[in-house]
Amino acid sequence: MSRSLVGANAADCLAGRVAVVTGASRGIGEAIAYRFAQAGAKVVVSARTLTDGDHVLAGGISNVAATIERLGGQALAVRADIGLAEHRKHLIDQAENRFGPVDILVNNAAVTYFERVQDFQQKHFDLMFRVQVEAPFALAQRVLPGMIARGHGAILNVSSHAALHPAIDVGGRGGTVYGMCKAALERFTTGLASEVYGQGIAVNVISPGLVATPGVLHHNLINEDTPAGRVTPIEHMAEACLRLVQGDPKHLSGLISYADDVMKQFDLVAEALPPLHGV
């Protein structure tokens, strides 16, 4: 792979910044990691899957970090199950030991089970809330003191259209708990944005829309019957995320937005990314 991480449209807007991206072994997290590295960030990629082949889905954080470094960026892979408190501490400790204080936190990791309420297993319920609600809260708590002391920082939480209230007459395929998690994440985002407003810290939440990631395809959320116009290019999600972690937090915080809307609002052009695993 010969192309540099820095493309024609990629200003070094994150030069020197340290970014932690969870759920970065594949799909959206991988794309965000590449885009932030293109913009000059030192990127810490985290997930449970270390190497491609360790999981039923393609991808691994060691592969992502190696790609970033091969193309001229700086990256660190830290294996972590963020549902566990000790793993969350280890992740932030490793990031700070290698690169320094964390400037940007992207809470992207998710564990999803599609089961109807009457059949939902308690262990699945507990795990989903630990990973998608408790972990973003706890990781934010770990990085906030440093951000507040330095007077700058950005926390970006990745949500889903599932957070919206569904129509009751269309049936359901078992996404109720997933929607609950994402709705809680959105309320946490706006609440935290209010608490730190004026302290130089942007806190936003973004939904990708329907992106053809390995996980989405695994759950058959995109198939041959899905109209092409409903599918969001993964590069658009990465570009929108980059936009939300830069700029003046007084004017760009507390947002609950969508990748397509951010692309249109700021008239963005998506930068090409290195090939993604399984996408």
Catalytic status, residue 178:
yes
Of the residues 34, 113, 178, 197, only one is catalytic, namely 178
Instruction: Please compute Rg for the chain using Cα positions.
Output: 18
- 197-213 per-residue burial string, b: 16 or more CB within 10 A, e: under 16: eeebbbbbbbbbbbbbb
Question: Could you give the dihedral angle defined by the CA atoms of residues 162, 165, 170 and 172, in that order, rounded to the nearest 10 degrees?
Answer: 50
Secondary structure class of 208 (helix, strand, coil) = coil
User: Among the residues of 115-226, which ranges form H helices?
Assistant: 122-129, 135-150, 176-195, 214-218
Residue type, 77: A
Tally of CA atoms within 13 A in the half-sphere of 87 that contains its CB? 16
Beta bridge partner(s), residue 256: 205
Active centre residues (catalytic): 178
